[in-house]
Amino acid sequence: MAQTSIVLTNLIRDYKPNENYIAGQIFPTVGAPGSPLKAKTFGKDMFKVYQTLRAKYGKANVAYSEEHEEITVDLKNHELAFILDMDNTATEDVQDMRRRNAKKAKEGIDLRREVDVATKVNDPNIYPTGHKITLTGTDQWSDPDNSDPIKDVFDAKQAVAAKIGKEPNLLVLPKAVYNKLIFHSQFMITAVTGQKQPATLEVLKAKFDIKEIAMGDAVKLDESDKTFGSIWTKNVQLLYINPEKKPNKEDVSFGYCFRENGFPKADEYKSEDGNNQFQRAKDKYSDEILCVEAGYLITAAIA
């Protein structure tokens, strides 16, 4: 029978996720009491000008919110375990291997999430008309002299601001696209010697006038030929994300990660013969898009 481990649970909660994983930047986490739950999509109430001045001896001013669409969120169980061979493990190594197995299991769940989030936000069907563009030919940012990435990003920011009243504050930038942009004529730096040098991430943020850039640099293994491939490829997203450290799901954001309170956690169990022990990481969450108009997709940013 599996037993929850406080030590291993604290370990997987405290460890820093792979720095190349950006799913958590795109979908900030809010706690959830359980599943299923209802979540509201975002409307435009915050931009209404209400009558707030109360007349002398008059009744209080009452505002009625717009009816927002509600979606049902089913939190999904994610589990992964690694085996510990008790017959072939030195006693002094057991505790360390238990911790490593729990950590590897949590990292496996995080990688799965990264793949799922990349698939979700790269789907052009979720973005409304006017919130997506496909670049071709000399418009692609891999053409360092003819393309205009600054204007492309400016147009995207204006499209989002026109719908939600806020400009995107997060640019999702695959590493392959970054590697082209730093040599683009709009971004290269002129050194004191007069020579041109590749731009830095800070230069890109300044030129694009964007608060944060999430670098999509994670890779996954193709089990068919045992090669590594990028999870984030040639598409760029501009998103408005709730910037608060402890976000409230009532505040506008492209989306949220609804995670059941108490997760992630870890437990352990033994095989029936008692020769093997398993360390398992468990998580229960769902990444949900609640405001499609807070996002903009640039497909095929590079050739």
52, pLDDT greater than 60: yes
Q: How far apart are CA 104 and CA 281, in angstroms?
A: 9
Specify whether the CB–CB gap between 133 and 299 falls below 8 A: yes
The whole-model pTM stands at 0.90
How high does pLDDT run on average in the chain?
A: 91
Question: Which pLDDT tens digit goes with each residue over 216-272?
Answer: 999 999 888 889 999 999 999 999 999 999 998 889 999 999 999 999 999 999 988
pLDDT value for 47? 59
Output b/e per residue, 40-76; b: 16+ Cβ within 10 A: eebbeeeeeeeeeeeeeeeeeeeeeeeeeeeeebebe
- Delimit the domains of the chain by residue range: 3-299
215, pLDDT greater than 70: yes
**DSSP string of 186-222, one letter each residue:** TTPEEPTTS-EE---HHHHHHHHT-SEEEEE--EEEE
Specify whether the CB–CB gap between 173 and 215 falls below 8 A: yes
Q: What is the CATH number that goes with domain 3-299?
A: 3.90.1690.10
291, pLDDT greater than 80: yes
What are the tokens at 35?
């599943």
C-beta atoms surrounding 193 within 10 Å: 7
Question: Which pLDDT tens digit goes with each residue over 133-153?
Answer: 999 999 999 999 999 999 999
